[in-house]
Amino acid sequence: MENKCSILVVDDMVGPREALRMILKNKHEVVTAEDGENALECLGKKDFYVAIIDIKMAGMDGLQLLKKIKEKKPDTEVILMTAYASVDTAKNALRYGALDYLIKPFDHKDVIDIVEKGVAKRREQINTRIEIERLQIATSELSKKVDDARRNIESHYASTVKALLATIDAKDQYTRGHSERVARFSAFLAEKTGFQHDKILSLEQAALIHDIGKIGVEVQDSLHSSLKKPAFNMTRYSV
């Protein structure tokens, strides 16, 4: 069975307050207040799905109370009561955020229908908020999984590149460290020419494996012998 919803009834006349309480008590939890100040105290202690407020009250009138309720508890659906319905009354009620209004003396069925409309709207708001929170949690969890997967891919990529560099160096000992130097030099030039950070990283990674083709090339010992004795010192120019 669905839990009862809390309904606040505010009227400075005991007759309408009790009449509304009797109509709604079997289906909802009804709290009554005799004026605006008392109603605000009740709102500070409890959340109400719907508040039914008389417009003409001594002290704080219904429209003033409506504005305060919307400031304090904007999700509370408010129904105004009046004995003198007019276009201006309806316009003011809607402008200040009221759901609807009842005409005194009110009809039993009208009361139930309008209150149920307010309860349904409030429940829809609650369900929507719950769904949004659920989606936010799911999005956060998915984002974490994506980040973990990206870090895992980056880690495997780095390991693969290191393995490839080791293979290239093992294939051609003479140029050991050449790929790292080319990568650093490429990144330096890219930074100085204004490349974006992600583009610099991509260029650096590409430069690291620019000699990948050496893995499949046979290196001649005679060539190495001639290269090991350069005619002049090229160390300072070497990349």
User: What is the tens place of the pLDDT at every residue in 151-208?
Assistant: 888 778 778 877 777 777 776 666 677 878 888 888 888 888 888 888 888 888 888 7
Q: What is the dihedral of CA 146, 151, 156, 162, to 10 degrees?
A: 150
Token reading at 218 = 């046979």
Q: What is the pLDDT of residue 239?
A: 53
Tens of pLDDT along 46-82?
999 999 999 888 889 888 999 999 999 999 999 998 8
Q: What is the pLDDT of residue 236?
A: 45
DSSP code of 46? -
φ, ψ (nearest 5 deg) of residue 94: -70, -40
Model confidence at 95: pLDDT above 90: no
How far the first Cα of the chain sits from its last, in Å, is 79
Tens of pLDDT along 131-151?
999 999 988 888 888 888 888
Give, for 50, the enclosing helix (H) or strand (E). strand 50-54
What's the whole-number average pLDDT of the chain?
Answer: 82
pLDDT: which is higher, 227 or 71: 71
Q: What is the pLDDT of residue 163?
A: 79
pLDDT: which is higher, 198 or 12: 12
